[in-house]
Amino acid sequence: MPELRIQNTIPAKVDKKISKNGAINMELTEKAEEILETMWVEIVENDKTPDLTVLKNNADFDVLVENGYISPDTNSLLTEKGKIEGSNCVRRHRLAERLFVDVLNVKSGLVHEASCKLEHILHKGLEDNICILLGHPKKCPHGQSIPPGQCCHKKKRKAETIVMPLAELKTGQSGKIAYIHTHDRQMLQKIMAMGALPGTSVTLLQRFPSYVFQLGQSQFAIDKNIAEQIQLWITN
């Protein structure tokens, strides 16, 4: 999570777009989003008052105040608008961390830096797509809560957009392999030898005492450990 150490006296460039109803939608700079992200963690998550002296004469901070994200009243540092956007910033950052760790196997030392860069482009529903892909995770790799989004609040999940492990399928349920989530080369080779490749359709036939699934004209029995590594797009 970024720290409040931003020094900038150059006027912040803020992009504004006019919506169909005539309202002005402001696109925040990366530094402005980092300020909201850090303040939200300190104020909402940690129940602390952040030290804002380092942001004196900071152009991005001033823009946030002018546009109603931060209140000039020191007793209420974030407005409701600021809390919502701060929560969204934190959500994008932590979802990016989960994506890099769970799917892309990025080394831990690079996760934070990579997530900081990715979070700033996860707008306009992309973060919800990643959240759905990852199965609506509740914690980031560091154990911190991921603020829920609209996709998490909806009780109905579209089956065609859910990715889950083969081990979580119900008997008779089918899906297409999205990816194999394992860093064990021998296990990966074993799975691939069955023909379980991305895009391949499978159907779970049995859950106990072992997981038995249908792949083409063949049936395979695997243990739970392997079944948890095969991630599927659910189709029924």
Residue 47: predicted pLDDT: 92
Closest by CA position to 136, among listed 160, 163, 110: 163
Could you tell me if 14 and 119 lie in one domain? yes
Burial of 139 (0-12, 13-18, 19+ CB in 10 A): exposed
Final residue belonging to a domain, choices 157, 192, 224: 157
Averaged pLDDT, 6-27: 45
Do 73 and 127 belong together in one domain? yes
Integer Cα distance of 138 and 149 in angstroms: 11
Q: Rg of the chain's alpha carbons, rounded to an integer?
A: 22
Q: Is the pLDDT reported for residue 22 higher than 60?
A: no
State which of 157, 183, 199 marks the end of a domain.
157
pLDDT at 105: 65
Pairwise CA distance, residues 139 & 89, whole Å:
15
User: What is the number of structural domains in the chain?
Assistant: 2
pLDDT at 206: 95
What tens digit of pLDDT does each residue of 163-199 get? 788 999 999 999 988 888 777 888 888 898 999 988 8
With a cut of 90, say whether residue 97 has pLDDT above it: no
Whether residue 156 has pLDDT greater than 50: no
Please indicate whether residue 145 or residue 102 has the higher confidence score (pLDDT). Answer: 145
pTM exceeds 0.85: no
CATH number (domain holding residue 230): 2.30.30.90
Task: Please indicate, yes or no, whether residues 67 and 133 belong to a single structural domain of this protein.
Answer: yes
One domain for residues 42 and 115 = yes
Same domain, 132 and 23: yes
pLDDT confidence of residue 36: 93
On whether the CB atoms of residues 228 and 166 are closer than 8 A, the answer is yes
Q: Judge contact between 226 and 190, C-beta under 8 A.
A: yes
Q: Is pLDDT above 60 for 6?
A: no
- Dist CA 182 CA 226 (whole Å): 9
Residue with tokens 């691939």: 192
Domain that includes residue 213, residue range: 159-234
